[in-house]
Each structure stands twice: as structure tokens, then as C-alpha cells.
A = this chain, B = another copy of it.
């Protein structure tokens, strides 16, 4: 056991590693959950599909790096993002030993900078059509989806995938896409509205029906107040 060593020496003989971040970027359109992937125009694995990634810089926290990488691709800031872990198998990147911290992000697919994304050769791929990705990216995606499923049922994060104003049919379709199962319309609405954190507007979305569906929005203030009192979000 090391004792009484000087601080300077302590770290000196340790190995140092490249550290990357990779972003699993979820979006929701056309009633489907999708990932924003990039076609790599550079080595290694030029031409293949991968998650958007980048290297951690000196003086930058890992979280900040993830935010930067997301921003580089989408132009977005202040996005819901959560770490799913670090991947550190020795040969996960065949080029060099690189560790990668994976984060998933939930974005509203209307908002991102399409020109910027295009310059990175980004494409939206439905979850059910995700092909083989480079390195261990498929594993990352799998774990991210699992975490999203769990978390979405217990915390109000799904809304990050929708515009501020959304209809209940839209919300239901979203949750069906996340959970991968169909839900009963009446039970779903009952549950949603019983939480009393959704504010109904007078506006209707008539793009999907003659009758139109009312727009709602999620009321974060009400939500926070309720959480204080020991309530819990559940869908």
C-alpha cells in the first residue's frame, strides 16, 4: 500500500486515456421514436453509421463535453440529457484505446438546426430499423432505450420529445412508441389528467382530424409543487 508519497508523484506513473462522449439522440416524428445518427465521412469506420461523438477536452467536464457534442450536431442547448454510463472495454474502438461516456438526449425534432445536422451527414433512423453501428454503439443504444423506458414512466421527461403544446392523442402515441406497446385510450387519458399537471388550452390541432384535438401543455410549476407534497409522476 502506498503511504506518505508526495502529491506530485502520486499520479505521475499512472496511465492516461482518451475519453470520448457519444450521444444517443432521440426524436419523435411520424408516430415513431427515432435516433439521429451520422454517416461517418472520416476514419475509422468511414462510411458507417454511428452515434454523434467527440473527444473530451482538457478543462471540460464530461457533461459539458456531451452538451457541446450535441450542440455541434443540432445547434441545441439546454436539452434534456442524461448519462447512461462509461464504456471501457479495451478494444471497443479498434483504432486506439478510447473510453466513451454515453449520454442520451431527448429533443423536439422540429427545433434542431437542419443545415448544421446535414453538414454532419446526420439521418433520422426509426428505432426499429437501427442497423449495425460502429464499435459498441448498438449496446449503448439498447441501454439508453431501456433507461428511457423506465425513466419516462416515472418522471415527466417524455415531453422533451414534443413541442410545448401537444394533444393527448399525440402524447399517447409517444408513450406507445417509447414503451413499445399500445395503450388503452380511456385509461391513458384518465391517468394523465388525474395527475392535474396538464393545462388544457382552447386551441385545437386539426391536422389529424376534422374535429381537432385540444392542445395541452405540461405545467412544470404545478408539477414541482405536487412533488413537494410527496406525489409522484406515473404513466
Contacts and interface: CB of A to CB of B under 8 A. Distances in A.
B15 A55 contact: yes
Given A15-B58, A59-B90, A43 B5 contact: yes
A157 to B, nearest CB: 16
Contacts of A101: 86, 88
A100 B98 CA distance: 15
A44 B43 CA distance: 40
A163 interface: no
A111 interface: no
Contacts of A6: 43
Given A18-B11, A88-B63, A58 B97 contact: yes
Interface string A21-65: 000000000000000000001111000000000011111111101
A85 B86 contact: yes
Given A55-B15, A98-B11, A2 B42 contact: yes
A56 to B, nearest CB: 7
The interface centre, meaning the residue of A17, A96, A97 with most chain B CB atoms within 10 A of its CB, is A17
A41 B65 CA distance: 34
Contacts of A97: 58-59
Interface of A: 1-7, 10-11, 14-19, 41-44, 55-63, 65, 83, 85-90, 95-99, 101, 119-120
* The 9 residue pairs across chains A and B that have the minimum distance between CB atoms: A62-B88, A16-B16, A86-B86, A15-B58, A14-B55, A11-B96, A7-B43, A3-B41, A61-B89
